[in-house]
Amino acid sequence: MQKKGQVTVFVIVGIIILLVAGLFFFAKNYYGYGIEPKVYIQGPLNSIKNEITKCVDEIISPSINLISNQGGSKNPTKYRLYESKNVKYLCQNIPNEEKCLNSMDPLQKVESQLQEELQDKLKSCISKDLLESKRGYTITNPNLKVNAKILQENILFEIDYPITIEKDGVTQKLSRINREIPDTPLGYLYNAAYDIVNSHSKHGNFEQLIYMLQKKGRIIIQVDKPYPDIIYILNKKDSNFKFMFAIEGEE
């Protein structure tokens, strides 16, 4: 009986030790007890950064393509529905005139359209659960800001989301995320679109072949004429990236 009693005591003590050890490891991993705050909050900060990076990589190309396929606009108000795309009129019809009214936005406006599109998509992509204060730390969630710079051959993005995590007086801030998207000659094609629109607004037409020869084959211009409008599809040679826009005609 005495031996059985000793065994029982040892079993109970063992269970208690396991429970205490389990609680210790749980508290250590879940609440960061026994871990330096700077080290502990780096974990959730890295999770947030990885989530944002994943979202950026998933949505950045579709966002660029949406803008470039719709004449440089996120939600154009005056457009031609073409191949399920709302292709913006960059030159609007003037009644009883061959010429049209140039309504092309400056490149900075296209950049702002890209910024808005990416910001909206990022906000819905990032898991809200990651941005909640919990487990002994506090998250400050400021406004998300995206900057876009359209160059001749590529597009630069800067995602500034200065989220801070604080635990026991120690604070860490999320650094900016930068992305360069190669083979996106939106700046180059937008300049060509300006030449085309300018010709239509001044002369009422555009000499497609002459222009392509002047550019020495560096740009490919496709033209479609769904009555009464004109659709232009621009590609740079050896690139799959395209820019589309419409010229409004008169019925």
48 pLDDT band, cuts 50/70/90, is confident
Q: What are 226's two structure tokens?
A: 């769904």
CATH class of 37-71+108-181: alpha beta
> Between 144 and 26, whose confidence is greater?
144
Residue 115 near residue 60 (C-beta atoms within 8 A): no
Parse the chain into domains and list their residue ranges: 1-34, 37-71+108-181, 79-105+185-247
Residue 104 has what DSSP assignment? P
Strand 155-160 with 145-150, pairing: antiparallel
Could you tell me the pTM of the whole model? Answer: 0.82
pLDDT tens digits for range 57-75: 999 999 999 999 999 999 9
Rounded to 10 degrees, the C-alpha dihedral 182/184/185/189 comes to 180
pLDDT tens digits for range 79-136: 999 999 999 999 999 999 999 999 999 999 999 999 999 999 998 898 888 777 666 7
Q: What are 149's two structure tokens?
A: 């710079």
pLDDT tens digits for range 5-43: 555 655 565 565 555 444 444 444 444 445 787 888 888
Q: Is 149 left (phi over 0), alpha (psi -120 to 50) or beta?
A: beta
